[in-house]
Amino acid sequence: MVVSREATYGLEHYRYDLPEELIAQVPSGQRDASRLLVLDRVRECMEHRHFGDLPGYLGEGDLLVVNDTRVVPARLRGTKETGGRVELLVLDPYKSSEKGWDEGYTCLLKAAKHTRADSIITLTGGIQVKVLDSLPEGKAMVRFLTPEPLLDLLHRNGEVPLPPYIQRNGAPAPVDDAEAYQTVYARNPGAVAAPTAGLHFSRSILEQLERLGVRQTTVTLHVGYGTFAPIRVDDVRNHRMHAEYVEVNAAASQAVEAAKREGRRVVAVGTTVVRTLEWVALQCGAVLPYTGLCDHYIYPGYGFRCVDAMITNFHLPQSTLLLLVSAFAGRERILHAYEEAVLKRYRFFSYGDAMLIL
């Protein structure tokens, strides 16, 4: 177990200055053309590369673990019985249809005025939605009044729920977000946000790594909207993480446990994979097959049980994701790397550049 020696708990210590123009609004021209900041914890150095250079840092026996969740077009628009406009974001589209029709779905509900329980919303396309209950933080429990499976309904009527810092402002999108905001290995539909570290991988890079003897396996964490939720407490230890659905199958379990047993590196693609593997290892004592909800919150002082290296994007100031990478590499080291990235004009957040932490 590797324990972070540096544990600073004041939220103010996880702030950095980011010029607005460095928040990427579109991805790189091709997936593996993004820049790559390599942060080596052992050699205490940084290197400025491109993502296409990644195969030079991984080798035979390394295990690359990716998140195969697929983003669904979970944002819907409609009108209330009064004629007022409503926007819904389905937060748990991964739930089975059978359970969903019985118990309803949790949505973020945006409207000019409060939407009361038992009211009806008519979506674009004519489907009606009944509000079952109002929930805190602008959420509501709703039921879709149609026998159509939810995922079919969303694919027919929904929009890709881009992060709030990607601004389209009603203008035509400069890229096809439905394709760009999706990894090439996305398979299991259910996320409302992309596991963005994986957006840099092209099929060519994956094939190069395979030829080098880098082994690959997949886990699933359906990324929720809570990944963008700000920390609202001064002491980061008092924050409560949102829960997300995770699944580790037998093949992934065996691959990870074999790597750990044989002393090979486990390389996590993204914070979602880090949280999944570390959560299961914590719950089960090892990375065993697992299905359920994960609310694992990793911040400095955490002892890592499983992950040896990480590929990740550049994260928002004072966010749970910044805390996670600070736990993995050290707060001062991460903030120094972010300062360098700003100076070197790296592109930040979901459509931005990448970091490899060794």
Give pLDDT tens digits for 168-198: 776 777 889 999 999 999 999 999 999 999 9
115: closest CA among 94, 142, 89, 91?
142
Averaged confidence pLDDT in the chain: 93
pLDDT of residue 6: 52
Q: Which residues of 200-237 are buried (b: 16+ CB within 10 A; e: fewer)?
A: bbbeebbebbeeeebbbbbbbbbbbbbbbeebeeeebe
Please check whether residue 206 is in contact with residue 199, taking contact to mean a CB–CB distance below 8 angstroms.
no
Domain membership of residue 169 (yes or no) is: no
pLDDT of residue 184: 98
pLDDT of residue 4: 44
Give 32-71 pLDDT, tens digit per residue: 999 999 999 999 999 999 999 999 999 999 999 999 999 9
Domain membership of residue 172 (yes or no) is: no
**In terms of domains, do 132 and 258 share one?**
no
pLDDT of residue 97: 46
**In terms of domains, do 126 and 194 share one?**
no
pLDDT of residue 98: 45
| CA 233 to mean position of chain CA atoms | 22
**In terms of domains, do 256 and 346 share one?**
yes
pLDDT of residue 155: 93
**In terms of domains, do 80 and 32 share one?**
no
Give 93-117 pLDDT, tens digit per residue: 998 544 444 578 999 999 988 888 8
pTM of the model: 0.94
Using DSSP, state whether 305 is helix, strand or coil.
coil
The last residue of one of the domains, among 127, 157, 187, is 157
Domain membership of residue 34 (yes or no) is: yes
**In terms of domains, do 121 and 249 share one?**
no
The last residue of one of the domains, among 157, 186, 218, is 157
**In terms of domains, do 277 and 301 share one?**
yes
**In terms of domains, do 41 and 111 share one?**
no
Distance from C-alpha of 163 to C-alpha of 350, rounded to nearest angstrom:
8
**In terms of domains, do 290 and 345 share one?**
yes
Q: At how many degrees (to 10) do helices 271-284 and 320-329 cross?
A: 70
Which range marks the domain in which residue 343 is found?
2-71+177-357
**In terms of domains, do 213 and 89 share one?**
no
Strand partners, 106: 141
Cβ neighbourhood burial of 28 (10 Å; 0-12, 13-18, 19+): buried
Domain membership of residue 295 (yes or no) is: yes
pLDDT of residue 171: 72
Using DSSP, state whether 12 is helix, strand or coil.
helix
Domain membership of residue 345 (yes or no) is: yes
User: CATH code at 46?
Assistant: 3.40.1780.10
**In terms of domains, do 187 and 101 share one?**
no
Please check whether residue 267 is in contact with residue 310, taking contact to mean a CB–CB distance below 8 angstroms.
yes
| CA 124 to mean position of chain CA atoms | 28
**In terms of domains, do 48 and 103 share one?**
no
pLDDT of residue 102: 57
List the chain residues with pLDDT less than 50: 1-5, 97-101
Distance from C-alpha of 96 to C-alpha of 101, rounded to nearest angstrom:
9
pLDDT of residue 99: 45
**In terms of domains, do 48 and 86 share one?**
no
What is the residue type of 46? Answer: M
Report how many domains make up the chain: 2
Domain membership of residue 165 (yes or no) is: no
CB atoms within 10 A of CB 103: 13
Distance from C-alpha of 145 to C-alpha of 140, rounded to nearest angstrom:
15
